Chain A
Amino acid sequence: MSKTILIGSPNSGKSLLFNKLTGLNQKVANFPGITVNISSGKSLADPGNLLMDFPGVYSLRTISAEEKVSVDAFYAGLNDPEISTVVCVVDVTRLEKGLIFALQVINACAERGKPVVIAANMMDVLNNHGMEMDIDGLADALKVPVVGISAKSGTGLAELQALLASHQDLPEPFVGGIIASDDSVVHRQAQQLADSFGPKGDLLINSQTRLDSFFLHSWFGGVSFVAIMYMLFQSIFTWAAPAMDAVESILQMTAAWIIPLLPAGPVSDFVADALFGGIGAFLVFVPQIFVLTLVVGMLEDSGYLARAAVICHKPLRFFGLTGKSFIPMLSGVACAIPGIYAARTVDSPRKRWLTYLAIPLMPCSARLPVYSLLIAAFIPAGYAFGGLVGWQGLAMVGIYLFGIVSGLLVTAVVSRTNAAMRTDLPFVLEMPPYRLPSWRPLVRNAWNRSKHFVTKAGKVIFSVTVVIWVLGYFPNQGAALGESWLGQMGQFIEPLFSPFGLDWKYGVAILSSFLAREVFVGTLGTLFGIEGGEENIISLAEHIQNSGLPIGAGFALLVFFSIALQCVSTLAVLRRETGSWRLPLQMFVSYSLLAYSAAWLTFIVVQAIAA
């Protein structure tokens, strides 16, 4: 089988061309990442030809380690004897920029002996503006075939496919009569070629400028930004909720059907608690990931995401972040996992790293049951400010803000003290044209992302679930959690928490909450002898009050839970997205230490005030 490489700059229409040629619905994110995301598919016209869609890059001369990964993959492809042709996609409405890249590609292919074809895309836009360009003249000058196409309307694709089957001439390095010894030679050649053969005139759609002056307007822009972000936030909570409930019900029904078939004992307990309980706890995230990926994809493809980044850039820059960090962090308020996936839209590696640091501190919804329990137990139900606001509601707002502020403070400090990955282009963001997103690639992408979560992160989450289950179940067959290995570990670490006035029960609950934060409530319920602690928060809160826990301990726990990274799913997804355990482990250790010290400080301060 022969193979064809598709390469081009971001926004050149390369992926649309790939979808048209293969009949697939891929969405190749411009996410260089650790592993290069190369989609491949058989050509519809010639099933013996495998098309490979490489991530879009601006230049073969890279400025960051991540770009280098993509470009190295391209060079590796050129050395592959199975590669028969390279197609370089160029946007003719921005010919000069496209040709700078095309010249680099022609020279690389000439060096490595691969035939190259230039696909001059977006000819339909030229036609709509009544303009034309000299395709044949360009082909003669470059000495490589140039085919005028429109990936959108399909014109020229038959000609391109015919050429892919027949074209075997090797290119020569382009010599354009410009003699210079510095880097500027390629772009001067491109400029000259674009001047001689390119379209003449103004191509930018005026509607883009009009929409920009609306969406980036001080008032209208701000209002539409808030409205769109509200919709995004709602989508994670409200739209995903029915699907999340459905997943839960299906799992419960399946469990109710299967478990009675098993003999009572460890096997049935394992299936009930570890298998259905553990898998259920992470499968409910899938609808959230799906919906958020879909909505963020819509914003990205419509062109709005770039505008939202412009709006948020200035305030977030102060904290070492970029405008593109906003959506991942906002998603983190619902759940860190879709937030971490959404951070793929942050193209700068350094800014993405800082965004990863901030996301787990956003007050995610798994913290809500923990906050509810602790607030019910420690904050009086009375009203403040003449009955305007309840103390408990105020405390909830306070602890939410505490998480957000902590996240921003962490990135502000780390960005000023750590120089890791400094080599990264400052804020230069291409504003893509506004357009209506097409559904199929977006749904496909959301589906792939959800599948990725289940198959890749799922393994780690499941392993940890099994370990925690074994520790909590043995050696006494689940008879009493307090006497299990987990209980013994809780008692062993009791001295760690006794400075805050917490006993071993809280140690066990904190250990088990590593599975997911809300497990803290259920575990405490079990240890206090209350069935279904999640549903009986008030009764559990009374038990905690009656146990004589000092108020400082309650505040210390609130602070601990808002900082500590006890979430195996978050760690597993971070490991997947960054390609190693290094960052998740660093974050887990440092946030644990930070949470512990902050909790200790809180205990001392609150106890002093209360006394």
Chain B
Amino acid sequence: MTLWDLKQGASATVAGFCGSLQGDYRTRLSELGFHPGEQIACVLSPNLGAPKLYRVNNTVYSLDDSVASLINLA
């Protein structure tokens, strides 16, 4: 399951990144808080495939499917 599949209101732990995600981006996503072992909640999943809102620590980020589907959940 990837982060993009996470339903609104649900939380899960990051397991790792998909192999196709470049190394630089992995580092940046980790620095922003999306690193393996971290608990992430999907706070809002708007209709029509718009980017979803995820909460990591005390920050809310919006990610679209091109990134969220490359983050694997445990």
Contact = CB atoms under 8 A, between A and B. Distances in A.
Interface of A: 58-59, 61, 63, 93-94, 96-97, 100-101, 183-184, 187, 202-204, 208-209, 212-213, 216-218, 221, 306, 309-311, 313-314, 317, 323, 423, 425-431
18 contacts: A59-B27, A59-B31, A63-B28, A96-B33, A97-B33, A184-B30, A208-B60, A216-B46, A310-B53, A311-B46, A314-B50, A425-B25, A426-B25, A426-B66, A428-B29, A428-B32, A430-B60, A431-B60
Interface residues of B, number: 32
Given A183-B30, A309-B62, A426-B64, 18 more contacts: A59-B31, A61-B27, A94-B57, A97-B31, A97-B33, A101-B31, A183-B26, A187-B31, A212-B53, A212-B60, A218-B47, A423-B22, A426-B25, A426-B66, A426-B67, A430-B61, A431-B53, A431-B59
Contact of B63 (A184, A209, A218, A428): A428
Nearest to B30: A187
A430 B59 contact: yes
B59 A313 contact: no
Contact of A209 (B43, B64, B66): B43
Contacts of A202: 58
B49 interface: yes
Contacts of B53: 212, 216, 310, 431
Interface in B36-74: 43-44, 46-51, 53, 55, 57-64, 66-67
Nearest to B24: A63
A598 to B, nearest CB: 33
B49 A93 contact: no
Contacts of B55: 204
A427 B62 contact: yes
Given A183-B30, A314-B51, A427 B67 contact: yes
Q: Is the interface of B mostly helix, strand, loop or mixed?
A: mixed
B48 A59 contact: no
Contacts of A58: 28, 31-32
Contact of A204 (B48, B60, B61): B60
A61 B25 CA distance: 11
A423 B24 contact: yes
Which one of B24, B49, B62, B67 has the greatest number of beta carbons of chain A within 10 Å? B62
Given A212-B43, A218-B48, A313 B28 contact: no
Contacts of A187: 30-31, 35
Interface of B: 22, 24-33, 35, 43-44, 46-51, 53, 55, 57-64, 66-67
Contacts of B61: 428-431
B30 to A, nearest CB: 5
A311 B50 contact: yes
A165 B24 CA distance: 38
Contacts of A425: 25, 28, 67
A556 B30 CA distance: 54
A428 B53 CA distance: 10
B63 A427 contact: yes
Contact of A184 (B35, B47, B57): B35
A310 B51 contact: yes
A152 to B, nearest CB: 17
A183 B44 CA distance: 31
A317 B27 CA distance: 24
Contacts of A94: 57-59
Contacts of A423: 22, 24
A317 B44 contact: no
A63 B47 CA distance: 31
Contacts of B32: 58, 97, 428, 430
Closest 8 pairs between A and B when the two form their complex, measured CB to CB: A427-B64, A431-B60, A426-B67, A429-B62, A203-B58, A63-B24, A218-B47, A426-B66
A554 to B, nearest CB: 40
A387 B33 CA distance: 61
Nearest to A97: B33
A63 B21 CA distance: 13
Contact of B27 (A97, A101, A183, A216): A183
Contact of A313 (B24, B51, B57): B51
Contacts of B51: 310, 313-314, 323, 427, 429
Nearest to A216: B46
Contacts of A63: 24-25, 27-28
B24 to A, nearest CB: 5
A218 B47 CA distance: 6
A492 to B, nearest CB: 51
Contacts of A221: 46
A212 B66 CA distance: 22
A204 B54 CA distance: 12
A187 B26 CA distance: 12
Contacts of B49: 314
A163 B20 CA distance: 47
Given A58-B28, A58-B32, A310-B62, A218 B57 contact: no
Given A216-B53, A426-B25, A310 B63 contact: no
A314 B28 contact: no
Which one of A203, A428, A429 has the greatest number of beta carbons of chain B within 10 Å? A428
A212 B64 CA distance: 16
